[in-house]
């Protein structure tokens, strides 16, 4: 039996409409990544390819609860522009498009939205603004629970049991292992120069991938069960006095 479709861009408007009308796809997963240098041996698509794969696998396991929306291929990668081929968006432009994508899925009726990140350069800018975004939804669409996580952080404990070097690193043991398992055509094994990347194996990659999917599913199940609702309450009560809105 073939797998059900979980990618919004592969569906027709009728298919999306009817599925959502039946109560499917209450969860939207938005993969983010980058097109940037990954040392001499790994293809530049790694970050978006890996986060999209984890998102798709998680959505399949959660089917029909979750849909994967708009992989955002270009990321914030100014720090890699010295290497030809890197495509980088300015932080403000990138976050504007990301928020618009989030809001589109919310307006379509996805109450749980997880931005599943595959590029370390997004963590600082997004965590800097995430609370404002969460408060926006709390005020405007209070049923919407927005979360952001990098897949390696969701599965860090499991990954660190296997990985001898830092998780996720950059094109080193962790990412190269995942690529060897998922899309080995992206790894030029004869061009690996980095000593940490030389520790990569497809077997380790399989463990990293399985943990990333399992922990992403677990996290989304937590969102669905309301386990993360207290984050919004915490944000509101501790960090932003509601009276701020009066001014
Ligand atoms: Zn990477």
**Closest by alpha carbon to 193, among 209, 176, 178?**
176
The answer to whether position 187 is within a domain reads: no
Q: Rg of the chain's alpha carbons, rounded to an integer?
A: 18
For residue 170, the CA-to-ligand 1 centroid distance in Å is 5
For residue 69, the CA-to-ligand 1 centroid distance in Å is 20
Domain housing 80: 8-153+224-240
CA dist., res. 177 & res. 192, Å (int): 12
Contact present, 50 and 118 (Cβ < 8 Å): yes
The answer to whether position 218 is within a domain reads: no
**Closest by alpha carbon to 64, among 21, 105, 104, 35?**
21
For residue 114, the CA-to-ligand 1 centroid distance in Å is 19
For residue 200, the CA-to-ligand 1 centroid distance in Å is 14
Q: Which CATH number is 22's domain given?
A: 3.40.50.10310
The answer to whether position 108 is within a domain reads: yes
Q: Write b or e for each residue in 19-54: b if 16 or more Cβ atoms lie within 10 A of its Cβ, otherwise e.
A: beeeebbbbbbbbbbbbbbbbebbbbbbbbbbbbbb
For residue 132, the CA-to-ligand 1 centroid distance in Å is 27
The answer to whether position 179 is within a domain reads: no
For residue 31, the CA-to-ligand 1 centroid distance in Å is 13
Structure tokens at 142: 């209070």
Contact present, 170 and 38 (Cβ < 8 Å): yes
Angle between helices 46-62 and 202-224 in degrees, nearest 10: 50
For residue 42, the CA-to-ligand 1 centroid distance in Å is 9
The answer to whether position 193 is within a domain reads: no
For residue 23, the CA-to-ligand 1 centroid distance in Å is 35
Domains identified in the chain, total number: 1
Q: What is the pLDDT of residue 228?
A: 73
The answer to whether position 188 is within a domain reads: no
- Phi–psi pair at 117, nearest 5 degrees: -95, 145
For residue 55, the CA-to-ligand 1 centroid distance in Å is 16
CA dist., res. 66 & res. 56, Å (int): 9
For residue 52, the CA-to-ligand 1 centroid distance in Å is 13
For residue 15, the CA-to-ligand 1 centroid distance in Å is 33
- The pLDDT profile of the chain, 247 residues, written as one tens digit per residue, is 689 999 999 999 999 999 999 999 999 999 999 999 999 999 999 999 999 999 999 999 999 999 999 899 999 999 999 999 999 999 999 999 999 999 999 999 999 999 999 999 999 999 999 999 999 999 999 999 999 999 999 999 999 999 999 999 999 999 999 999 999 999 999 999 999 999 999 999 999 999 999 999 999 999 999 877 655 544 444 444 444 333 3
Q: Write b or e for each residue in 106-143: b if 16 or more Cβ atoms lie within 10 A of its Cβ, otherwise e.
A: beeebbbbbbbbbbbbbeeebeeebbebbbbbbeeeee
The answer to whether position 15 is within a domain reads: yes
CA dist., res. 206 & res. 177, Å (int): 8
Q: What is the pLDDT of residue 227?
A: 79
C-alpha torsion angle, residues 151, 207, 34, 64 (rounded to 10): -60
- Phi–psi pair at 82, nearest 5 degrees: -65, -20
The answer to whether position 173 is within a domain reads: no
């Amino acid at each position: 039996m073939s797998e059900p479709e979980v990618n919004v861009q592969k569906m027709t408007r009728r298919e999306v409409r009817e599925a959502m009308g039946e109560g499917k796809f209450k969860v939207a997963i938005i993969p983010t990544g980058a097109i940037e240098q990954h040392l001499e041996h790994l293809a530049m698509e790694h970050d978006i390819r890996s986060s999209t794969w984890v998102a798709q696998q998680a959505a399949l396991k959660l089917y029909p609860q979750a849909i994967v929306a708009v992989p955002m291929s270009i990321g914030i990668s100014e720090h890699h522009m010295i290497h030809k081929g890197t495509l980088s968006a300015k932080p403000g432009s990138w976050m504007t498009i990301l928020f618009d994508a989030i809001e589109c899925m919310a307006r379509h009726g996805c109450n749980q939205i997880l931005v599943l990140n595959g590029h370390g350069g997004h963590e600082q800018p997004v965590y800097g603004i995430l609370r404002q975004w969460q408060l926006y939804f709390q005020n405007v669409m209070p049923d919407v629970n927005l979360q952001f996580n990098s897949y390696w952080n969701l599965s860090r404990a499991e990954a660190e049991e296997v990985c001898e070097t830092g998780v996720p690193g950059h094109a080193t043991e962790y990412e190269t292992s995942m690529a060897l398992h998922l899309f080995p055509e992206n790894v030029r094994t004869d061009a690996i120069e980095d000593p940490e990347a030389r520790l990569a194996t497809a077997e380790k990659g399989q463990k990293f991938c399985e943990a990333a999917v399992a922990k992403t599913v677990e996290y989304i199940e937590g969102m669905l069960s309301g386990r993360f609702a207290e984050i919004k309450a915490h944000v509101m009560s501790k960090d932003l006095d509601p009276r701020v809105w009066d001014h």
